[in-house]
Amino acid sequence: MVADDIPGVVALQRLCFPPPFRVDQLWTVEHLTSHLGIFAPGQFVAIDEGTILGSASAALVCEQVWNEHRSWEGTLVSFYLEGHDPTGTTLYGADISVHPLSRGKGVGRALYHARFNLVQKLGIARFGTGCRLPGLKASGLDPEVYISQVQANDRTDLTLTPLLRYGLTLHGVIENYMNDEESLNCAALLSYERS
């Protein structure tokens, strides 16, 4: 991602996180400008002939922060990614989004490959993230039962299913992760350890 990509990323956010996801939790120009200033190598976009099809934002966090499996804000501190620690050993995914009309074509996988390549290049321990569970509320299931069923391919989740296909390892549920009605404020804790 470079500064010229920012307006396209802001527009993409509104399409990728529709209500009931809260508008005040979407990236603004100021947030994304801060991300580029703090840690440009961790910010990616997918572009097709000048059109932004996807974006992925991340910061580095230290072992203690990673091991405590905190909430989104407890990990990243703010929407400006002020929790970024240049000496951190986990590349922590803040978000990923692909345009609704471009899904299922490998754009998310390409963004994840870029993240995994960065982990290798930096020689750090892992990539980690908390993954939304947009089908959880509608399922009526306990979060642990829900993620087990998604992992077993007994049901699909718009977000968790693709992320498991990328080879991320599922560790469990973090409750009170972020304001996210569809996910009952829960997230699945995922990681990719450097080989």
Ligand X SMILES: CC(C)(COP(=O)(O)OP(=O)(O)OC[C@H]1O[C@@H](n2cnc3c(N)ncnc32)[C@H](O)[C@@H]1OP(=O)(O)O)[C@@H](O)C(=O)NCCC(=O)NCCS
Residues found near ligand X in the complex (CB under 6 A): 16, 95-98, 103-109, 131-132, 134, 156, 158-159, 161-162, 165
Nearer to ligand X by C-beta: 70 or 132?
Answer: 132
DSSP H or E segment with residue 44: strand 44-48
Contact 118, 42 (CB under 8 A): yes
Query: Please, which residue, 75 or 97, has the CB nearer to ligand X?
Result: 97
Q: Report in angstroms the alpha-carbon separations of 18 from 8, 83, 174, 181, 182.
A: 16, 26, 22, 12, 11
Closest CA to 55 of 124, 125, 121, 102: 102
- Residue 129 Cβ vs ligand X, minimum distance, rounded to whole Å: 7
Q: 89 vs 97, which CB is nearer to ligand X?
A: 97
Q: C-beta of 162: minimal distance to ligand X in Å?
A: 3
Closest residue (Cβ) to ligand X?
108
CA distance 170 to 151: 8
> Least distance from C-beta 155 to ligand X, angstroms?
10
**Which of residues 156 and 176 has its CB atom nearest to ligand X in the complex?**
156
